[in-house]
Amino acid sequence: MILLAFPVVAWLGSPAQAAEHTIKIVAFGDSLTAGYQLPASAAFPSQLEKALKGRGIAVAIANAGVSGDTSTGGLARLDWSVPEGTDAVILELGANDMLRGIDPKITRNALEEIVRRLKARHIEVLLCGMRAQPNLGADYARAFDAIYPELAAANGLIFYPFFLDGIVTDSKLNQSDGMHPTEAGVAVIVERILPKVEDLIARVRVKREPKP
Protein backbone atom coordinates (compact mmCIF):
# COMPACT_ATOMS: atom_id res chain seq x y z
CA MET A 1 0.00 0.00 0.00
CA ILE A 2 2.96 2.29 -0.06
CA LEU A 3 4.12 1.76 -3.63
CA LEU A 4 3.26 4.51 -6.06
CA ALA A 5 1.32 3.86 -9.23
CA PHE A 6 -0.70 5.91 -11.67
CA PRO A 7 -4.48 5.90 -11.30
CA VAL A 8 -6.70 4.32 -13.88
CA VAL A 9 -9.68 6.62 -14.20
CA ALA A 10 -11.81 5.35 -17.04
CA TRP A 11 -15.33 4.07 -17.26
CA LEU A 12 -15.31 0.30 -17.67
CA GLY A 13 -17.58 -1.49 -20.09
CA SER A 14 -18.75 -0.95 -23.64
CA PRO A 15 -20.10 2.37 -25.02
CA ALA A 16 -23.59 0.87 -25.06
CA GLN A 17 -23.35 0.26 -21.32
CA ALA A 18 -22.38 3.89 -20.76
CA ALA A 19 -25.79 5.17 -21.83
CA GLU A 20 -27.70 7.70 -19.76
CA HIS A 21 -29.38 5.08 -17.57
CA THR A 22 -26.05 3.60 -16.51
CA ILE A 23 -25.02 4.54 -12.99
CA LYS A 24 -21.45 5.82 -12.97
CA ILE A 25 -19.42 5.11 -9.87
CA VAL A 26 -15.82 5.99 -9.09
CA ALA A 27 -13.93 3.68 -6.73
CA PHE A 28 -11.57 6.20 -5.13
CA GLY A 29 -8.84 4.84 -2.94
CA ASP A 30 -5.38 3.36 -2.54
CA SER A 31 -3.83 0.02 -3.53
CA LEU A 32 -6.75 -1.90 -2.03
CA THR A 33 -8.91 -0.27 -4.68
CA ALA A 34 -6.28 -0.18 -7.42
CA GLY A 35 -5.68 -3.94 -7.25
CA TYR A 36 -2.04 -4.12 -6.25
CA GLN A 37 -0.24 -7.00 -8.07
CA LEU A 38 -3.52 -8.15 -9.62
CA PRO A 39 -4.71 -8.05 -13.25
CA ALA A 40 -7.21 -5.26 -13.93
CA SER A 41 -10.03 -7.79 -14.22
CA ALA A 42 -9.38 -9.01 -10.67
CA ALA A 43 -9.25 -5.58 -9.00
CA PHE A 44 -12.05 -4.46 -6.71
CA PRO A 45 -13.79 -2.10 -9.20
CA SER A 46 -13.90 -4.74 -11.94
CA GLN A 47 -15.12 -7.54 -9.69
CA LEU A 48 -17.73 -5.27 -8.15
CA GLU A 49 -18.99 -4.12 -11.53
CA LYS A 50 -19.28 -7.72 -12.71
CA ALA A 51 -21.22 -8.69 -9.57
CA LEU A 52 -23.66 -5.80 -9.97
CA LYS A 53 -24.22 -6.51 -13.66
CA GLY A 54 -24.89 -10.10 -12.69
CA ARG A 55 -27.80 -8.74 -10.68
CA GLY A 56 -29.10 -6.84 -13.68
CA ILE A 57 -27.84 -3.41 -12.56
CA ALA A 58 -26.51 -1.14 -15.31
CA VAL A 59 -23.37 0.27 -13.79
CA ALA A 60 -19.91 1.48 -14.84
CA ILE A 61 -17.23 1.58 -12.16
CA ALA A 62 -14.02 3.53 -12.74
CA ASN A 63 -10.85 2.50 -10.96
CA ALA A 64 -9.39 5.62 -9.31
CA GLY A 65 -7.13 3.76 -6.95
CA VAL A 66 -3.50 4.83 -6.49
CA SER A 67 -1.12 2.54 -4.65
CA GLY A 68 0.51 4.32 -1.76
CA ASP A 69 -2.02 7.12 -1.61
CA THR A 70 -2.87 8.77 1.69
CA SER A 71 -6.04 10.69 2.46
CA THR A 72 -4.15 13.93 1.84
CA GLY A 73 -2.91 12.61 -1.50
CA GLY A 74 -6.44 11.65 -2.41
CA LEU A 75 -7.67 15.13 -1.61
CA ALA A 76 -4.99 16.63 -3.86
CA ARG A 77 -6.16 14.62 -6.87
CA LEU A 78 -9.87 14.49 -6.11
CA ASP A 79 -11.13 17.01 -8.65
CA TRP A 80 -9.52 15.36 -11.66
CA SER A 81 -9.93 11.79 -10.44
CA VAL A 82 -13.72 12.11 -10.14
CA PRO A 83 -14.97 13.35 -13.53
CA GLU A 84 -18.14 15.22 -14.34
CA GLY A 85 -21.10 12.89 -14.68
CA THR A 86 -20.12 10.74 -11.71
CA ASP A 87 -23.18 9.60 -9.75
CA ALA A 88 -21.46 8.09 -6.73
CA VAL A 89 -18.07 7.48 -5.12
CA ILE A 90 -16.85 4.55 -3.06
CA LEU A 91 -14.30 6.24 -0.78
CA GLU A 92 -11.56 3.93 0.52
CA LEU A 93 -8.61 5.85 1.97
CA GLY A 94 -6.66 5.95 5.21
CA ALA A 95 -4.80 2.64 5.33
CA ASN A 96 -1.52 4.28 4.33
CA ASP A 97 -2.09 7.11 6.80
CA MET A 98 -2.33 4.47 9.51
CA LEU A 99 0.70 2.49 8.30
CA ARG A 100 2.79 5.67 8.33
CA GLY A 101 1.51 6.74 11.75
CA ILE A 102 0.10 9.99 10.40
CA ASP A 103 -1.76 12.07 12.97
CA PRO A 104 -5.43 10.98 12.84
CA LYS A 105 -6.44 14.66 12.86
CA ILE A 106 -4.75 15.08 9.46
CA THR A 107 -6.53 12.02 8.11
CA ARG A 108 -9.88 13.20 9.46
CA ASN A 109 -9.48 16.69 8.00
CA ALA A 110 -8.58 15.35 4.55
CA LEU A 111 -11.46 12.88 4.47
CA GLU A 112 -13.88 15.55 5.69
CA GLU A 113 -12.82 17.84 2.86
CA ILE A 114 -13.14 15.06 0.29
CA VAL A 115 -16.67 14.36 1.49
CA ARG A 116 -17.53 18.06 1.53
CA ARG A 117 -16.42 18.52 -2.07
CA LEU A 118 -18.28 15.44 -3.28
CA LYS A 119 -21.47 16.49 -1.53
CA ALA A 120 -21.15 19.97 -3.03
CA ARG A 121 -21.16 18.24 -6.43
CA HIS A 122 -24.26 16.22 -5.42
CA ILE A 123 -22.31 12.95 -5.62
CA GLU A 124 -23.46 10.15 -3.32
CA VAL A 125 -20.76 8.61 -1.11
CA LEU A 126 -20.16 5.17 0.36
CA LEU A 127 -17.47 5.52 3.02
CA CYS A 128 -15.30 2.47 3.67
CA GLY A 129 -13.79 2.28 7.13
CA MET A 130 -10.30 1.19 8.09
CA ARG A 131 -8.91 0.07 11.43
CA ALA A 132 -5.56 0.78 13.06
CA GLN A 133 -3.11 -2.03 13.71
CA PRO A 134 -2.74 -2.94 17.40
CA ASN A 135 0.99 -2.16 17.46
CA LEU A 136 0.24 1.56 17.04
CA GLY A 137 -1.14 1.73 20.56
CA ALA A 138 -4.58 2.16 22.10
CA ASP A 139 -4.66 5.95 21.90
CA TYR A 140 -3.82 6.03 18.21
CA ALA A 141 -6.29 3.24 17.44
CA ARG A 142 -9.07 4.99 19.34
CA ALA A 143 -8.54 8.27 17.48
CA PHE A 144 -8.06 6.67 14.06
CA ASP A 145 -10.90 4.12 14.24
CA ALA A 146 -13.37 6.81 15.30
CA ILE A 147 -12.82 8.86 12.15
CA TYR A 148 -14.98 6.77 9.87
CA PRO A 149 -18.20 6.16 11.83
CA GLU A 150 -18.20 9.76 13.05
CA LEU A 151 -17.66 11.16 9.55
CA ALA A 152 -20.39 8.92 8.14
CA ALA A 153 -22.87 9.90 10.86
CA ALA A 154 -22.16 13.61 10.58
CA ASN A 155 -22.69 13.62 6.81
CA GLY A 156 -25.41 11.03 6.36
CA LEU A 157 -23.16 8.73 4.34
CA ILE A 158 -23.66 5.07 3.61
CA PHE A 159 -21.03 3.35 5.73
CA TYR A 160 -19.15 0.06 5.43
CA PRO A 161 -17.26 -0.27 8.73
CA PHE A 162 -14.15 -2.19 7.62
CA PHE A 163 -13.07 -2.61 4.00
CA LEU A 164 -10.95 -5.71 4.78
CA ASP A 165 -13.67 -7.45 6.79
CA GLY A 166 -13.50 -11.21 6.36
CA ILE A 167 -10.01 -11.38 4.88
CA VAL A 168 -7.61 -9.53 7.16
CA THR A 169 -6.52 -12.59 9.18
CA ASP A 170 -6.83 -15.21 6.44
CA SER A 171 -3.49 -15.97 4.78
CA LYS A 172 -5.26 -17.77 1.92
CA LEU A 173 -7.01 -14.53 0.94
CA ASN A 174 -3.95 -12.28 1.17
CA GLN A 175 -0.82 -11.93 -0.87
CA SER A 176 2.57 -12.80 0.62
CA ASP A 177 2.95 -9.28 2.06
CA GLY A 178 0.00 -9.96 4.34
CA MET A 179 -1.62 -6.62 3.45
CA HIS A 180 -3.07 -6.89 -0.04
CA PRO A 181 -5.87 -9.26 -0.99
CA THR A 182 -5.57 -11.93 -3.64
CA GLU A 183 -8.18 -12.21 -6.38
CA ALA A 184 -10.14 -14.53 -4.08
CA GLY A 185 -9.76 -12.03 -1.25
CA VAL A 186 -11.19 -9.25 -3.41
CA ALA A 187 -14.12 -11.52 -4.21
CA VAL A 188 -14.86 -11.80 -0.48
CA ILE A 189 -14.72 -8.02 -0.11
CA VAL A 190 -17.12 -7.61 -3.02
CA GLU A 191 -19.55 -10.18 -1.61
CA ARG A 192 -19.63 -8.48 1.78
CA ILE A 193 -19.82 -4.87 0.60
CA LEU A 194 -22.41 -5.54 -2.11
CA PRO A 195 -25.50 -4.70 0.01
CA LYS A 196 -24.02 -1.30 0.87
CA VAL A 197 -23.24 -0.62 -2.79
CA GLU A 198 -26.83 -1.50 -3.66
CA ASP A 199 -27.95 1.02 -1.03
CA LEU A 200 -25.68 3.57 -2.72
CA ILE A 201 -27.23 2.85 -6.10
CA ALA A 202 -30.71 3.14 -4.60
CA ARG A 203 -29.88 6.66 -3.42
CA VAL A 204 -28.72 7.59 -6.92
CA ARG A 205 -31.96 6.25 -8.40
CA VAL A 206 -34.08 8.23 -5.95
CA LYS A 207 -32.19 11.38 -6.88
CA ARG A 208 -32.82 10.68 -10.57
CA GLU A 209 -36.57 10.32 -10.13
CA PRO A 210 -38.56 13.22 -11.60
CA LYS A 211 -39.76 15.64 -8.96
CA PRO A 212 -43.55 16.26 -8.90
Residue 17 has pLDDT above 90, yes or no: no
Any domain includes 36 = yes
Number of compact structural domains in the chain: 1
Which pLDDT score is estimated for 210? 76
Residue 38 included in any domain: yes
Catalytic residue among 30, 46, 81, 180: 180
2 domain residue, yes or no: no
Crossing angle of helices 71-81 and 104-120, in 10° steps, is 20
For the domain that residue 81 is a member of, what is the CATH number?
A: 3.40.50.1110
User: How many other CB atoms are there within 10 angstroms of residue 6's CB atom?
Assistant: 8
pTM, entire model: 0.90
Q: Determine the structural domain holding residue 159 and report its residue range.
A: 18-208
Q: Are 180 and 36 in contact (CB under 8 A)?
A: yes
**What number is the average pLDDT over the span 86-106?**
98
Which of 31, 46, 67, 71 is labelled catalytic? 31
Residue 18 has pLDDT above 70, yes or no: no
Residue 3 lies in a domain: no
Is 5 among the domain residues?
no
Residue 114 lies in a domain: yes
Other residues' Cβ atoms within 10 Å of the Cβ of residue 2? 14
Amino acid 11: pLDDT: 45
Return the closest-CA partner of residue 74 out of 41, 26, 25.
26
> Is residue 10 one of the residues assigned to a domain?
no
**Number of Cβ within a 10 Å radius of residue 169:** 9
Cα–Cα distance, 20 to 175 (Å, whole number): 38
Task: Return the minimum-mean-pLDDT range out of 3-7, 46-50, 62-66.
Answer: 3-7
What CA–CA distance (Å, rounded) separates 47 from 59? 12
Residue 195 lies in a domain: yes
In tens, the pLDDT along 110-168 reads 999 999 999 999 999 999 999 999 999 999 999 999 999 999 999 999 999 999 999 99
* Catalytic annotation present for 177: yes
Residue 4: per-residue pLDDT: 41
